[in-house]
């Protein structure tokens, strides 16, 4: 009594214990039972972006994820913690996550490589590190940032001043990034009111999407040779060893459409 005021859950009204409650953006709290539907991977960001009034929306999303996404989810590619279902445009961040996400709700993302150890080699240095990722979702309104895969390896070179090792993304991360970008371009809806709000009212044009599919920031960075090289690499990354399937044709079409658009814009 006195020192500690009892706090109740803004959703169910039960006591929200000090060690287990989750503080939301509006200062309200959720008890452990109410917050446990939020996966660890997005819990803190969800709480930082949402108030108690948004909890019902999260419950609705969970319902959609359970009834619609989960039954059809059939992972076709995984990289570290992230598993992707290319046929349905879905992914999950961790295998035990209670929610499955749709590429239609991805607003922004970025992937990178953090080098942790560099071993000198005769010709090239060996670089070990981890692949990290950042994904912003409009529904549920939350973001993920964390290590997708630990212990990745790539090769490094000294830069021309011989002061710093420069390195490419590891092959595994490159393949993952390419798939993620194509799926984002295939399934992301431009009519998503949140994403246009998020982008400061700007709708992404087809050219913007083509640029992000080809992983360039600006059309002036492209040459016809570079365009052809990127297309070849993208096509390769969507050609599994078991031969071309229906999904590969869909990818190929998307890649070729973007190619034509960029070719004309050059």
Contacts of Zn ion in 193-222 (CB under 5 A): none
Give residue number: closest CB to Zn ion.
9
Contact present, 86 and 154 (Cβ < 8 Å): no
- Is 18 in a helix, a strand, or coil? coil
Q: Which is nearer to Zn ion, 9 or 90 (CB)?
A: 9
Give the integer Cα–Cα distance in Å for 222 and 73.
37
Q: Compute the least distance from the CB of residue 258 to Zn ion, in Å.
A: 46
Q: Which is nearer to Zn ion, 35 or 138 (CB)?
A: 35
Contacts of Zn ion in 1-30 (CB under 5 A): 9, 11-12
Which residues lie closer than 8 Å to 98 by C-beta, 6 or more apart? 37, 38, 39, 62, 65
Give the integer Cα–Cα distance in Å for 32 and 11.
11
Q: Compute the least distance from the CB of residue 6 to Zn ion, in Å.
A: 14
Q: Is 264 exposed, middle or buried (0-12, 13-18, 19+ CB in 10 A)?
A: exposed
Instruction: Point out which span in 33-41, 69-77, 206-214, 242-250 binds Zn ion (CB under 5 A).
Output: 33-41
User: How many residues in the shown chain lie near Zn ion by CB under 5 A?
Assistant: 5
Q: Compute the least distance from the CB of residue 11 to Zn ion, in Å.
A: 5
The site string for Zn ion over 141-180 (x = CB under 5 A, - otherwise) reads ----------------------------------------
Helix residue spans in the chain (DSSP H): 32-35, 40-49, 55-64, 70-72, 171-187, 193-198, 206-213, 224-237, 246-265
Q: Which is nearer to Zn ion, 9 or 258 (CB)?
A: 9
Helix residue spans in 65-170 (DSSP H): 70-72
Instruction: Point out which span in 17-25, 31-39, 166-174, 220-228 binds Zn ion (CB under 5 A).
Output: 31-39
Radius of gyration of the chain (CA): 22
Which residues lie closer than 8 Å to 207 by C-beta, 6 or more apart? 219, 261, 262, 265
* Member of 21, 22, 28, 34 binding Zn ion (CB under 5 A): 34
Q: Compute the least distance from the CB of residue 130 to Zn ion, in Å.
A: 36
* Member of 22, 24, 31, 136 binding Zn ion (CB under 5 A): 31
Q: Which is nearer to Zn ion, 31 or 234 (CB)?
A: 31
Q: Compute the least distance from the CB of residue 140 to Zn ion, in Å.
A: 17
Give the footprint of Zn ion on this chain (CB under 5 A): 9, 11-12, 31, 34
């Amino acid at each position: 009594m006195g020192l500690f005021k009892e706090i109740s859950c803004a959703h169910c009204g039960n006591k929200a214990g000090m060690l287990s409650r989750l503080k939301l953006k509006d200062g309200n709290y959720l008890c452990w039972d109410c917050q446990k539907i939020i996966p660890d991977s997005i819990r803190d960001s969800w709480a930082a972006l949402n108030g108690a009034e948004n909890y019902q929306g999260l419950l609705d999303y969970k319902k959609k994820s359970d009834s619609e996404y989960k039954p059809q989810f059939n992972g076709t590619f995984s990289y570290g913690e992230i598993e992707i279902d290319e046929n349905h445009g879905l992914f999950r961040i961790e295998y035990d996550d209670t929610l499955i996400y749709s590429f239609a709700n991805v607003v922004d993302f970025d992937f990178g490589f953090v080098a942790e150890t560099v071993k000198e080699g005769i010709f090239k240095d060996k670089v070990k590190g981890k692949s990290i990722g950042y994904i912003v979702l409009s529904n549920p309104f939350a973001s993920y940032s964390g290590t997708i895969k630990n212990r990745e390896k790539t090769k490094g070179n000294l830069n021309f001043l011989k002061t710093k090792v420069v390195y490419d993304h590891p092959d595994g991360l490159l393949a993952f990034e390419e798939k993620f970008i194509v799926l984002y371009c295939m399934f992301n809806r431009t009519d998503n009111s949140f994403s246009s709000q998020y982008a400061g009212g700007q709708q992404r044009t087809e050219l913007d999407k083509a640029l992000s599919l080809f992983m360039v920031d600006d059309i002036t960075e492209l040459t016809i040779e570079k365009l052809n090289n990127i297309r070849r690499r993208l096509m390769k990354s969507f050609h599994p060893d078991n031969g071309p399937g229906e999904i590969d044709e869909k990818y190929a079409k998307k890649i070729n459409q973007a190619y034509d658009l960029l070719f004309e814009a050059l």
